[in-house]
Amino acid sequence: MISDDPYKNNNLTRREFVKYLAGTATYMSFASPLWPEHHFHPLSTQGWPISTNVYTTELHQILPVPVSATDPQINPKDLELYTQYNYSSWTVGEGLPCTVWDTIAPDYNNSPKDKHLLSFFTITDVHIADKESPAQPLYYEWSKPYGDTCNSSAYSPVVLATTHVLDAAVQTINAIHKRSPLDFGIALGDACNNTQHNELRWYIDVLDGKVITPSSGDNIGADTIDYQKEYKAAGLDKSIPWYQVLGNHDQFWMGSCYETDEIQAAHISDVVQTTDNTESPCESLKGTLYYSGVVDGADPLGAVINSGLTSEYDERPTVVADSNRRSLSTTASTSQGWINEFFNTASKPRGHGFNLVDRTMGEDFACYSFVPKANIPIKIIVLDDTCKGQGQPDYAAGCLDQIRLEWLKKELQHGQDHDQLMIIAAHIPFNVYENLVTDPTQVYSTPAPSFMPLFIPGPYEGATSVVDDESLLRVLQEYPNLIMWISGHRHMNTVTPQIHPHDQTLSFWEVETSSLRDFPQQFRTFRIYRNSNNTISIVITNVDPAVSANSPAATSRGNAIATARITAAVTIDDSTSHAINAELVVQLTPKMQRVIARVGKPGSRRFQNFE
C-alpha cells in the first residue's frame, strides 16, 4: 500500500518537493526510532543529517513502487518524468528475515550462539563522481532509449549526489555502532568513478568528516542548488578503524581504459571530450562524432549539457578547467598515486591498510593483511585482484599475476599454520552466481543456479592473469581455515557457497555487497559467532542509508531506482529490495574447533534488531 506521506512515496518532482518543504517543517517518521541520533534540521548549513530513525533491512526495507505497464517507457534524459510515472518512487515495507544457510555445514542444527568473535561493516562501489569533469562519457547513456543498455556507469543522475549518499551511509554506520559496536570497516574498491584526484579527496574527506565542496571548475549552482552546496560531512566514528581495497575505477578511465597521455590531459582540459558513442569505450574515445557533455550544476535536476553531434556546434563547448581533476593514474603506476592519498587522512589507521603493503613487491602492489582483534584468531587478507599494465583485454575483469598469486598462497599458508580463520577481501568476485539467489534451497534446485566467470587468463591476447575462476577455486580450497571471500564490483548482494565436493571444511562462503552508487544503495554488516557445537555463524545484514526527507541522498535513491528500471537492470514491476540477510554457517576442522572454543566474549553481542 502506498502511504499518504509524500516523502515515503517519493512521488514529487524535485521542484514540487522544494515547494512542499517550504510549506512545512514537519518530519514524518516511518516508525518508532531505534537509534535516535539527533533532531532533524532541514537544509542545515552545517551538513545533511540523516533521518532520526535508523533501521537495518531486517526491520524495514526500501521497496520500489511498481510502474504500471500502461505507463510510457521513458528515457534516461527524461528527468522530469521520473516521478510522474513512479519510476523513482519507493516506499517502506516490512523487514526481511535472516535466513539460515547451512549449505556447507549441514550438522549445524540451529546450535545456539555461544560467543561473539568479530563485527565489521563493508561499503563498496561508492563511485564518487566529478559530474562537471569534461573527461567522462555521459552522452553514451544520456542519449539512449528505454531499455537499450544496462551501462548506467556511463551516466545516471545518481552522479549528482555521490558524496551525499556516502555521508548518509557513514552517519547510519555511526548510529549502528553506538548501539551494537563494530570492530572495523572495510571499503571494497571503486571509491572514485574516474580515477580523479578530486573524486578520491571527496571520498576520504567524507569519511574524515571535513567540509565538502561537491563540485568542480566554476562550482556553478553552489549557492542555490542543494546537491551543489558546500556542507560539513559527519565523518566516521573515530573509534572505528577503516581499511581500503583497490578497484578498477580507482585506476582506469571509467574503470575500462588504461590512462594514456591523451586521457590524462582530458581530465584537466577546458574542452569537452569527444567520442564515437560506441560500445567499445576505449576505441570510442578516439572518435569525434559527439561531445560527451557535462552535468549542468545550475539545474535542480542535473541535466547533461554540451553534448550531442559535434556537427551541430559552431565551436567546441568548454568548461572551466580544474587541476584538481588530474588523473591519479600514471604510465609508471596505475595505483601508487591513488594509494598515497590514504596517508593524508584524519581518521585511522594511517594509510588505511596500505601502510602494511610490502613496497618491495612493486609500485602497483596493493595487497596486505591484518588481524582486527589481537585476541581473536581471524585474519583479513586484502587482495588486489584488478588488472595491471597496458593492453589488457578487459580492465573490469579479475586478474592475479604470479607475484600476487604467490603472495596470496603465502598468506593463506601462514594463517593455516598459525591457526587463524581467514577472510579474503577483494574488489572483484570470482565464480559467483550470475543472478541473485535469495533462498538456500535454490542451491540444489534443478536447474542449478548458473555461475559467472570473471577472471580472464591467457591465452587471451595481453591477459596477465595466471588463474581463471576454476583454478583459483582449486587453490583456495587447499586451505580449510578460509571461511569467506568478500567483494564488490558487480553492485549486487549475491551470496555464493563455494562447495568442496568431498570435504565440508574446505568449503567457504563468497559474499558480495551492493553498490552505494546504484540501486539498491546498501552496505552490509558482518557479525561472526562461535556456536555451541563449534561451528561458526556469519550473520550478514544489508542496511539502507537512513536518508532524510529533504536531502540530495534521498533524491539519489529515487534516481537509482529509476535508472535500474530505465536501463532494464530490473523490471518495471519489480518491488523487491534486492537485499539478502542470512546466517552463513561454516564447518571447522577439529583443530580449529578447539582453538575457537577458547576465545570470544561469552554471550551474544548480536543486537535483537539484527535477528
Residues 361-381 pLDDT 10s: 999 999 999 999 999 999 999
Residue 31 has pLDDT above 80, yes or no: no
Pick the residue with more confidence: 191 or 6? 191
CA angle 233, 239, 241 (to 5 degrees): 85
- Reduced to 3 states, what is the DSSP secondary structure of residue 494? coil
CA-based torsion, 225, 226, 231, 236: positive or negative: negative
Distance CA 544, CA 581 (A): 12
Residue 261 has pLDDT above 60, yes or no: yes
> 232 and 46 in contact (C-beta within 8 Å)?
yes
Report how far apart the first and last C-alpha atoms of the chain are (Å, whole number). Answer: 25
> 274 and 310 in contact (C-beta within 8 Å)?
yes
**DSSP-based helix, strand, coil % in the chain, nearest 5:** 25, 20, 55
- Residue 166 — very low, low, confident or very high, per pLDDT cuts 50/70/90? very high
| pLDDT, mean of residues 284-309 | 96
Residue 527 has pLDDT above 50, yes or no: yes
Asked if residue 447 has a cis previous peptide bond (ω within 30° of 0), the answer is yes
> 466 and 409 in contact (C-beta within 8 Å)?
no
pLDDT, tens only, 313-362? 999 999 999 999 999 999 889 999 999 999 999 999 999 999 999 999 99
Supply 234's cell numbers.
Answer: 559527519
- Reduced to 3 states, what is the DSSP secondary structure of residue 98? coil
Residue 606 has pLDDT above 90, yes or no: no
Distance CA 559, CA 157 (A): 6
| pLDDT, mean of residues 12-16 | 37
pLDDT for position 45: 55
Distance CA 353, CA 371 (A): 11
> 481 and 590 in contact (C-beta within 8 Å)?
no
> 526 and 543 in contact (C-beta within 8 Å)?
no
Q: What is the DSSP secondary structure assignment for residue 38, as one 8-state letter? A: -
> 356 and 372 in contact (C-beta within 8 Å)?
no
Mean of pLDDT over the chain: 90
User: What is the per-residue DSSP string for 191-233?
Assistant: -BSS-BHHHHHHHHHHHHT-EE----TT-TTTTT-GGGS-EE-
Pick the residue with more confidence: 424 or 608? 424
- Reduced to 3 states, what is the DSSP secondary structure of residue 516? coil
Residue 6 has pLDDT above 60, yes or no: no
- Residue 8 — very low, low, confident or very high, per pLDDT cuts 50/70/90? very low
> Which residues are within 8 A (CB) of 61 and not within 5 positions of it... i.e. 6 or more apart?
92, 93, 94, 95, 96, 544, 577, 579
Instruction: Characterize the bridge pairing of strands 290-295 and 304-309.
Output: antiparallel
Pick the residue with more confidence: 43 or 76? 76
> 140 and 154 in contact (C-beta within 8 Å)?
yes
Distance CA 135, CA 294 (A): 9
pLDDT, tens only, 399-428? 999 999 999 999 999 999 999 999 999 999
| pLDDT, mean of residues 539-563 | 97
> 149 and 278 in contact (C-beta within 8 Å)?
no
pLDDT, tens only, 59-115? 999 999 999 999 999 999 999 999 999 999 999 999 999 999 999 998 888 888 989
Q: What is the DSSP secondary structure assignment for residue 440, as one 8-state letter? A: G
Residue 26 has pLDDT above 90, yes or no: no
pLDDT for position 150: 64
- Residue 10 — very low, low, confident or very high, per pLDDT cuts 50/70/90? very low
pLDDT, tens only, 145-157? 999 866 788 999 9
CB atoms within 10 A of CB 315: 6
> Could you tell me the pTM of the whole model?
0.92
Cβ burial, residue 62 (10 Å; 0-12/13-18/19+):
buried
- Residue 21 — very low, low, confident or very high, per pLDDT cuts 50/70/90? very low
